[in-house]
Amino acid sequence: MAMTMTGEVQLPASREVVWAKLNDPAVLKSCIPGCEELNVAGENQFEAVAKMKVGPVSARFKGKVTLSDFDPPNSYKISGEGEGGVAGFAKGGATVALAEKDGGTLLSYNVEAQIGGKLAQLGQRLINGAAKKLADEFFAKFAEAVKTG
């Protein structure tokens, strides 16, 4: 099952500060919902473990995340794939763009993902709702991390 999601978040910091936070593994780990591990695996590569629950399906996903297409402090691409055992798999990518706006930074994102296994059987509406909730939770925590410096 394929899904797409776009959004924007206004952050109370300069592009340079937001860019630095987007590239800080400790900040990302603290903001990603359910993230148990986020370890550097190479240049611009991370290995992650996250526990997720979507509807009745709960699983621990293990996967890889790669950052590419850098244009500091304006944009980059995040690509990843993860396996959740019987729950299924997820893979995809997101482009993240930063622009100065209203004395802060407007972060825009565009996500494209594929999911399979039990997760894909839950239905588009439940998956999209869960994905939006996870994105909202991430950006709320990220905005707090940016604000506290």
The pLDDT score that the predictor gives to residue 149 is 67
From CA 80, how far away is CA 82, in angstroms rounded? 7
* 110: CB partners within 8 A, 6+ apart: 4, 5, 6, 94, 95
Structure token digits, residue 96: 């993240």
Residue in 60, 75, 83 with CA at minimum distance from that of residue 110: 75
The pLDDT score that the predictor gives to residue 40 is 95
Segments in the chain forming alpha helices (H): 15-22, 25-31, 124-147
The pLDDT score that the predictor gives to residue 132 is 87
From CA 39, how far away is CA 25, in angstroms rounded? 7
Give pLDDT tens digits along the chain (149 positions).
Answer: 999 999 999 999 999 999 999 999 999 999 999 999 999 999 999 999 999 988 898 999 999 999 999 999 999 999 999 999 999 999 999 999 999 999 999 999 999 999 999 988 988 888 888 888 889 899 999 999 999 86
